[in-house]
Amino acid sequence: MAAEIPTTEPGELIAGDTWQWRKSLPDYPANAVPAWVLTYYLRSPEGEISIVASASGADHAVTVAKATTAGYKAGYYGWDAAVDNGTERHAVGHGAFPVKPDPTKTGSGFDPRSHARKTLEAIEAVIEKRATRDQEEYTIGGRSLKRTPIEELLVFKDRYVAEVAGEDAAAKIAAGLTNPRNVGIRFNRI
């Protein structure tokens, strides 16, 4: 059984996978005469990508082969979508999504942790090391060192704890599990 093709732009993409989705644009049907052609323009510091959709009846079908996406660099891409019929062009959407690296080609040095998780772990390590030191700053031989106050580290830690919790919740929802942030309430009749 083939997977159902999404009808919206993806929330994330993976280099090396086949990318597919359909877009229905009733005001700009792909089977009009002249035909409206939908193109996605992806941009990031990692590069630029153009994706041209093909007609599937009145809908626009996006399919990018795995051999093509294997050459795309991982990163966060902003995208704009426009339709063109040869004489007119109209913007029809914009957004952003991450392109994740091909998991079969990441190598042994690949760190799958997000920026938030790496930063949280680094902050926790600093706090742990600081627990045995009481000096916030000191001077030796004309050189001084000033450490970030514990209060500031705790504020940063709280921020990144919340960000990591959000990532974990999103991952659970994407996996079809319940949102751990939802709270169930039961009303009993008396």
Beta-carbon contacts of 36 under 8 Å, excluding residues fewer than 6 positions away, are: 25, 28, 29, 30, 60, 83, 84, 85
Which residue in 71, 77, 14, 9 sits closest to 43, CA to CA?
77
Task: Report, as ranges of residue numbers, the positions in the chain whose pLDDT lies below 50.
Answer: none
Global pTM reads 0.64
Task: Give CA separation, 45 vs 48, 66, 175, in Å.
Answer: 8, 22, 30
- Residue 61 sits at the vertex; the CA angle it makes with 29 and 68, to the nearest 5 degrees, is 140
Domain chopping of the chain, boundaries: 13-100, 115-174
**Domain 13-100 belongs to what topology?**
Immunoglobulin-like (2.60.40)
- Residue 76 sits at the vertex; the CA angle it makes with 71 and 77, to the nearest 5 degrees, is 75
Which residue in 90, 72, 81, 76 sits closest to 32, CA to CA?
90
pLDDT score recorded for residue 136: 65
pLDDT, tens only, 129-162 = 876 666 666 678 888 777 788 888 899 999 999 9
Report yes or no: 75 and 44 within 8 Å, Cβ to Cβ: yes
Report yes or no: 48 and 42 within 8 Å, Cβ to Cβ: yes
Cis omega (within 30 of 0) for bond into 34 = yes
Give residue for tokens 């991982």. Answer: 74
